[in-house]
Amino acid sequence: MPIAFELVSVVPYREDGQFGHRFTLRLALEERDNARLNWIERTDRPYVEGMEPDTWTDLFQLVHGQSRVFNGWNESQDDSGATLVTFVDPPSIREEPYARRTLQFWIVALDGNGEDWAVWQGIQQLACSDTGAIVTQTLEQTGRDHGDDGEPPYPEGFSPY
């Protein structure tokens, strides 16, 4: 099982005055022990303390223990050998007049062997009209790659360590 990300599902939702998507991303690792994760996001509308507008931020480093998105990763940290890790992320914004957000994802995993890596990229766009009606609600994969040289690509200007 080579290291790879798979976008399993993208489901639009609308509830409690919020709208967005629940997306499920699965990561196959050959060696979970000592594996690394960088869940990097950039948005024009930060939603957590420590994020700056239009700046790549590693959300795993910032909030990993406080976000259910990383439960599968955190719960598998004592595993070794081949592992499947599932992430379920529900990014959303409030339904209100003129609300809008663009959220970019650049997610990097480095296998525990230190050489194999995988990258998943996506973008979510959400917008409301002047009355608060939903006019844009998209989430799509924009890239997916893997390699075995221990040097995964990162967004320009972002340094993981």
CA angle 122-126-129, nearest 5°? 160
Six-digit token string for 44: 């024009």
How are beta strands 92-94 and 83-89 bridged, if at all?
unpaired
Q: Output the pLDDT for position 1.
A: 56
Q: Does residue 75 come out as left (phi exceeding 0), alpha (psi in the -120 to 50 range) or beta?
A: alpha
Q: Output the pLDDT for position 122.
A: 98
Tell me the average pLDDT across 110-137. 96
> In this predicted model, what pLDDT tens digit does every residue of 12-53 receive, in sequence order?
999 999 999 999 999 999 999 999 999 999 999 999 999 999
Tell me the average pLDDT across 94-112. 97
Contact 142, 96 (CB under 8 A): no
How are beta strands 92-94 and 36-43 bridged, if at all?
unpaired
Tell me the average pLDDT across 144-149. 95
